[in-house]
Amino acid sequence: MIRHLLLGVSLATLAACSADTGGTPSAGITPARFERFTYSGGDPVHEGVPRDAGTFLNPVLGGFYPDPSNTRAGDDYYLVTSTFAYFPGLPVFRSSDLVHWEQIGNAIDRPDQVNFGTLGLSRGLFAPAIEYHDGLFYILNTCVDCGDNFLITATDPSGPWSDPVWLPDLVGAIDPSLFVDDDGRAYILNNGPPDREPEYQGHRAVWIQEFNLETLETFGERIVLIDGGVDFSEQPIWIEGPHIYKVDGRYYLMAAEGGTAENHSQVVLVGDAPMGPYTAYENNPVLTQRDLPRDRANPITSAGHADLVQTPDGDWWATFLAVRPYGDDQYNTGRETFLMPVSWEGGWPHITGPGEAIPYAAARPDLPAGDPEIAPMAGAFTVIDEFDTSEMGPDWMMMRNPRETWWQLDGEALELQPRPVGLGDFSNPSFFGRRQQHMFGQAELAFSFTPDTTGSRAGLAVLQNDEYWYFIGLEQTEDGLAIQLRRRAGSDAPSDGTVIATAGVSLNAGALVEVRATARGPRYDFDYRLPDGGWQNLLRGADGTILSTRTAGGFVGVTMGPHAFTPTGE
């Protein structure tokens, strides 16, 4: 089962949803058998903020949950985020109060829906947008380098979702979203190249085109709504993530501007018709943290890519991405999902004012309290997966689409087939990852493994992407069994990493071994425990900055989980 603990108190057992394709791993090589995975974390900043029944903690989705988009259907709210080249992709969350979010599935959970091939982990599924209209849920998305823009639909947001309907008019675009007006006419917005040669690096445009909800096709003229940004004279970069909202008969166009780093922001324009023209708000941006001192304590930065939703009582809220750096724009947890109220002043929406910091705790929405037994995603918590279900939970991901079934759950443990596919091979290794959700977090893994050949190994991977990772596990070396720590830090490093710490061990076949990785901001500690023994340190204070987005590049965050490898497929 999967047990979720908040501050040491058991909350619930969740029924696991699955991205599993079923079947049994190929025979011939002894599988690694994983009996328990434990993730726990709690950041000091949350210990010092006031919190009671009337408040919530930011981020509401801790860890690598970027580019959030939300919609309301009745009294429930639904949210999706980017997953890039991880599979299954596009997690779907449900909430009744905008605070407690339960993952109910993944919209891309069949390997044949999209194909990531050998793409880098930060390619693939960018910035989904979810909408609900007339009994049907829509997700629009871009598969970068793997098919461009598409639409999927579902009557039940937990799935199944349809196969992609590709949108050829949007070739070369990203960040599509859907707006349906009161008269039933529908429109698709997107970020795309300008209508001429770009005049500077990052010069993009927001486009709109009508959309047929019956045939699921775009039609008619494509029109540029925003050229470059709200003030072209300043050469604004990467206008993206557009959404339209109809408020009091007028149309508000919101978009992110300034790129996804520390200059990220959210801007708004208004018009009298969906296809414009639109006039920019003179006091833009309506959300940013770029005007705060960089040396402030416990900063939240890079805020933008917002989506608004209105409650039945008329209140407005925004979900958006931001990051929590521990150093000079260094963060390992990726871009996370935050929540803030939206106020309307003089006919314009406001999320943050000039110099206003995003709060770590804020007053909750005036909505019925969410289910307290939903797995916590904010603040301090512990998650234990004993792999005693028939299918993997929806929060487990693998690198790219599986080509074969290399995993099996027998009701007591997870078995991974060691294969000659490594963490650095830009492929689909025998690896399941779960997000690191705290700056100060820890993953523990209990497993047994009897290596068949020199170089075979199984254990715990702590991974930012194919080129930046750590792995601690049991390995057969030329000198015998050993607990080894491997590191890869860059494209020039060996694809299977370099051994940076080792400890020879003597074990009986099938003996249970435990390994753990502890994140302390920019430092990681790696430990192991043998049967009938205590925890022993293998390496303390390993460089965690190699797992930061600033060093490793891309748009993802650290994932942690079981991995098995063998150098031979025989």
Nearest Cα to Cα of residue 493 among 463, 526, 468: 468
Nearest Cα to Cα of residue 38 among 525, 516, 520, 524: 516
Strands (E), 403-467: 407-409, 414-416, 430-431, 434-435, 441-448, 457-465
pLDDT at site 16: 30
Strands 55-57 and 361-363: antiparallel
The yes-or-no answer on residue 67 being catalytic is yes
Count of all residues that appear for the chain in the document: 570
Residues 6+ apart with CB under 8 A from 210: 185, 186, 187, 188, 218, 219, 220
DSSP for 125-149 reads: EEEEEEEEETTEEEEEEEEETTTEE
> What dihedral angle (degrees, nearest 10) is formed by the CA atoms of 546, 550, 551, 557?
50
Alpha carbon distance 514, 533 (integer Å): 10
pLDDT at site 28: 65
Report helix, strand or coil for 232. helix
Alpha carbon distance 359, 307 (integer Å): 18
Select 2-17+31-39+380-389+408-565's CATH number: 3.40.1170.60, 2.60.120.200, 3.40.50.2300, 3.40.50.300: 2.60.120.200
Digitized pLDDT (tens) for each residue of the chain, 570 residues in all: 554 443 332 222 222 333 333 334 445 689 999 999 999 999 999 987 777 778 999 999 999 999 999 999 999 999 999 999 999 999 999 999 999 999 999 999 999 999 999 999 999 999 999 999 999 999 999 999 999 999 999 999 999 999 999 999 999 999 999 999 999 999 999 999 999 999 999 999 999 999 999 999 999 999 999 999 999 999 999 999 999 999 999 999 999 999 999 999 999 999 999 999 999 999 999 999 999 999 999 999 999 999 999 999 999 999 999 999 999 999 999 999 999 999 999 999 999 999 999 999 999 999 998 887 788 899 999 999 999 999 999 999 999 999 999 999 999 999 999 999 999 999 999 999 999 999 999 999 999 999 989 999 999 999 999 999 999 999 999 999 999 999 999 999 999 999 999 999 999 988 999 999 999 999 999 999 999 899 999 999 999 999 999 999 999 999 999 999 999 865
Nearest Cα to Cα of residue 306 among 337, 283, 280, 279: 337
The structure's pTM equals 0.94
Alpha carbon distance 315, 202 (integer Å): 35
Strands 205-212 and 186-192: antiparallel
pLDDT at site 570: 52
Which residues of the chain does CATH 2.60.120.200 include?
2-17+31-39+380-389+408-565
Choosing from 109, 131, 175, 240, which is the catalytic residue?
Answer: 240
Choosing from 67, 97, 257, 307, which is the catalytic residue?
Answer: 67
pLDDT at site 150: 98
Return the amino acid letter for 231: D
- Specify which residues 499 forms β-bridges with: 486
Which residues of the chain does CATH 2.115.10.20 include?
43-363
Backbone phi, then psi, for 379, in 5-degree steps? 75, -160
Nearest Cα to Cα of residue 395 among 90, 50, 40: 90
State how far Cα 542 lies from the chain centre: 25
Asked if the 43-363 domain carries CATH number 3.10.290.20, the reply is no
Q: How far is CA 466 from CA 53, 397, 399, 518, 569, in A?
A: 42, 14, 9, 20, 21
Q: What token pair was written down for 395?
A: 């929060």
Q: What token pair was written down for 157?
A: 């947001």
